[in-house]
Structure 1
Amino acid sequence: MKRLAAHPLVWPCVTLVLLVLLDLSHNPAFLSISVLDGHLFGAPIDILNRAAPLVLVSLGMTLVIATRGIDISVGAVVAIAGAAAASILAADPSQVGMAIAAALAAGLLAGMWNGLLVAIVGMQPIIATLILMVAGRGVAQLLTGGQIIPIGARDYLFLGGGYLALIPCSMWIAAAAIAVTTLLMNRTALGLFIRAIGINPVATRLAGLRSSAIVFGVYTFSGLTAAIAGILASSNVRSADGNNAGLLLELDAILAVTLGGTSLLGGRFSLAGTVLGALIIQTLTYTTYSIGVPPEATLVVKAAVVLMVSVIQSASARAFIARQVRRAFPVAAKRTLTEGAQ
């Protein structure tokens, strides 16, 4: 049991299961999935569909944090990508390919800018990405003219609101991104290099590893995943909003990464844990609304659950709780130790 409790994915899984049980207690049909209008329909499908943008952003954030960095500009990049695509589609709805390319290019340029400041100039990651977090909102507002731009291009709307083989297209895109990232991290030396940089960046540089190039690439990848999330988000809501699109998404991404067991000190990361963390956050959001939590209290409940899960994941916190339990119930604890010895 101790070995199982120490596994980094156990507590995220337990948290997700508890949230599902809470939803089932409130709605016995929570896990039911049916086919409606030619596609799968149900609460689990809705949660997975809405979690896709967060999963994409969290994948890039995982690799950034693994190198001892942080990227708090991803929400602004989501807004920029959606605004860039909407601006082109507003002029010519048939230019879907051009709109997608513009959104991806905007994300790549934003990631390269962050990578340049962090890896080449040597800025602290939180300061470098804070610059784009602030300026990015202004860029998105300039692209949209301070207005909400509606999107009516059918092929573009298919990406975030369409279905492929009964399953939402956004889920396929998120699954593809997870698969590609997993292959890169586990089947190539890139994952080892990222872990090495996170553990000791000075030693890796002295060993001849081009750590600055890898860090630059990681931030570029984070910008790319945020751009894809921006495409899905703008497609799903059929509009681009430079002010509200991706707002506070960077905080949800950081929470998803930490809930999944990735260390903020760098060197240790888990892509599977990140996906679980994103699903926890989206399920928690669904749960708070479904059980009738007032909208003004949603963020408080969300913060309380995240705090509880983070404390449970801490080995020192679990050891402290165990000591207090042994002190409060010494007879039961002694009996348990005796039975274990026998």
Structure 2
Amino acid sequence: MKRFTWPIAVLVVLLITNLIHTHTFLNIEVRDGHLYGSIIDILRSSAPLALVALGMTLVIATGGIDLSVGAVVAIAGAIACLRISDLGDQGSVTGVLGAVGIAIALALVLGVWNGFLVATIGIQPIIATLILMVAGRGLAQLITDGQIITVNSGPYKMIGAGYWLSLPLSVLIAAAVIVLAVVLVRRSALGMLLEAVGGNAEASRLAGIKARWLILGVYVFAAVCSAVAGLMISSNVSSADGNNAGLLIELDAILAVVIGGTSLSGGRFSIAGTVLGAVIIKTLDITIYTVGVPPEVTLLFKAIVVIVLCLAQSPKFRAMFQRRRPVPVAARADEKVQVGA
């Protein structure tokens, strides 16, 4: 819990800042049987990022990186919306489920491709996933024919904008996937194996761990998480934009992982920290608009906040200031007396 001290402190500061500018910021009310409020909006907007960051966490735990998650987000939304737009009845639940299944199946293939390049061919992860990052964005634009595909499907809109048990369905879906991941990696030896591969791949291989299959598996999992996030994003706006959907989400995902305390060099990881990091990033986005930061300096302001948070979490950075802290005069006098004695 100690490693979450600074992220939680930053999140509290952001919430208080919003509360100062908007006194009803923390209010949650029920409308038409659904929960509404700024906090609910933060959770809803955090759900897709939390899913992408979750997959990124396991990839980074093995010592890898996945730059293609944004492209997979765009591809999943594009193929699902294209399929739904071709349906005679866009309100058909069966048809929507079929479109969702096609999107996830395609994501599986893309995840296998990334994993094959990294685990079997031996290409550096940043290069292997950069290939799909570029080609995948082109594939998404090819699927949409360079246009924005608009759909009018109630069942599909439920994924990103619907409610169940008074809560946003997207939040419940993200929570279910996160809980499943926690059970798999923390209630079994899988998490320890991932950390072993990320800590020292060669040593883990000599110990009999099948690192190749583990690496392949995490890239497939990351792709599926990105596909589900893409379905949420596209269904929330009832459209697919192959050019802008998921753009730069890979950078926010990596930031969420780092803020959560996971090392980019691989090894130990924290799923809870990653989810907290995703919530902080989305809260920061809302804070920027609430405070009224000019649009031309928005990205710079966001970068400064993230840098401050990362430095505050760094033990070496804090230790540097502790070493430079001036010694009190009384303490120096005591030292002189002891030396003279």
The letter of the residue matching 1:53 is P
Q: Which of 20, 34, 53 matches 1:58?
A: 53
Corresponding residue of 2:226: 226
- Alpha-carbon distance in 2 for matches of 1:37, 1:294: 35
- Alpha-carbon distance in 2 for matches of 1:211, 1:81: 28
1:205-242 Cα deviation digits (max 9, x unpaired): 01111000000000000000000000100001110000
Corresponding residue of 2:337: none
Corresponding residue of 2:27: 32
- Alpha-carbon distance in 2 for matches of 1:290, 1:37: 26
- Alpha-carbon distance in 1 for matches of 2:303, 2:69: 20
Corresponding residue of 2:289: 289
Structure 2 CA distance for partners of 1:36 and 1:117, relative to 1, 3 Å: same
Q: Counterparts in 2 of 1:41-56, with a 5 A limit?
A: 41-56=36-51
Structure 2 CA distance for partners of 1:127 and 1:176, relative to 1, 3 Å: same
SS in 1 for 2:209: coil
Corresponding residue of 1:205: 205
SS in 2 for 1:146: coil
Corresponding residue of 1:253: 253
Corresponding residue of 2:66: 71
What is the deviation of 1:121? Answer: 0.5
Given the alignment of the two structures, is residue 304 of structure 1 paired with residue 299 of structure 2, yes or no?
no
1:133-166 Cα deviation digits (max 9, x unpaired): 0000110011101000002111010110011111
Corresponding residue of 1:8: 3
Corresponding residue of 2:157: 157
What is the deviation of 1:123? Answer: 0.3
- Alpha-carbon distance in 1 for matches of 2:294, 2:99: 38
Corresponding residue of 1:339: none
The letter of the residue matching 1:315 is P
- Alpha-carbon distance in 2 for matches of 1:222, 1:332: 57
1:287-326 Cα deviation digits (max 9, x unpaired): 00111111221111110000001111110100112223x2
The letter of the residue matching 1:33 is I
- Alpha-carbon distance in 1 for matches of 2:35, 2:331: 50
Structure 2 CA distance for partners of 1:112 and 1:25, relative to 1, 3 Å: same
Give the ranges of 4+ consecutive aligned residues of structure 1 lying more than 2 Å apart after TM superposition: 329-334
Structure 2 CA distance for partners of 1:105 and 1:314, relative to 1, 3 Å: same
| TM-score, scaled to structure 1 | 0.94
The letter of the residue matching 1:29 is T
SS in 1 for 2:149: strand
SS in 1 for 2:3: coil
The letter of the residue matching 1:130 is L
- Alpha-carbon distance in 2 for matches of 1:142, 1:153: 22
Q: Counterparts in 2 of 1:42-191, with a 5 A limit?
A: 42-92=37-87, 93=90, 94=92, 95-191=95-191
Corresponding residue of 2:338: none
What is the deviation of 1:333? Answer: 8.4
Corresponding residue of 2:336: none
SS in 2 for 1:303: helix
SS in 2 for 1:35: strand
What is the deviation of 1:332? Answer: 9.1
What is the deviation of 1:28? Answer: 1.9
Structure 2 CA distance for partners of 1:332 and 1:48, relative to 1, 3 Å: farther
What is the deviation of 1:330? Answer: 2.9
- Alpha-carbon distance in 1 for matches of 2:296, 2:322: 35
Given the alignment of the two structures, is residue 23 of structure 1 paired with residue 21 of structure 2, yes or no?
no
The letter of the residue matching 1:313 is Q
Identity of counterpart residues, as a percentage? 56
What is the deviation of 1:246? Answer: 0.0
- Alpha-carbon distance in 2 for matches of 1:321, 1:19: 25
SS in 2 for 1:9: helix
The letter of the residue matching 1:286 is I
| TM-score, scaled to structure 2 | 0.94
Aligned residues: 328
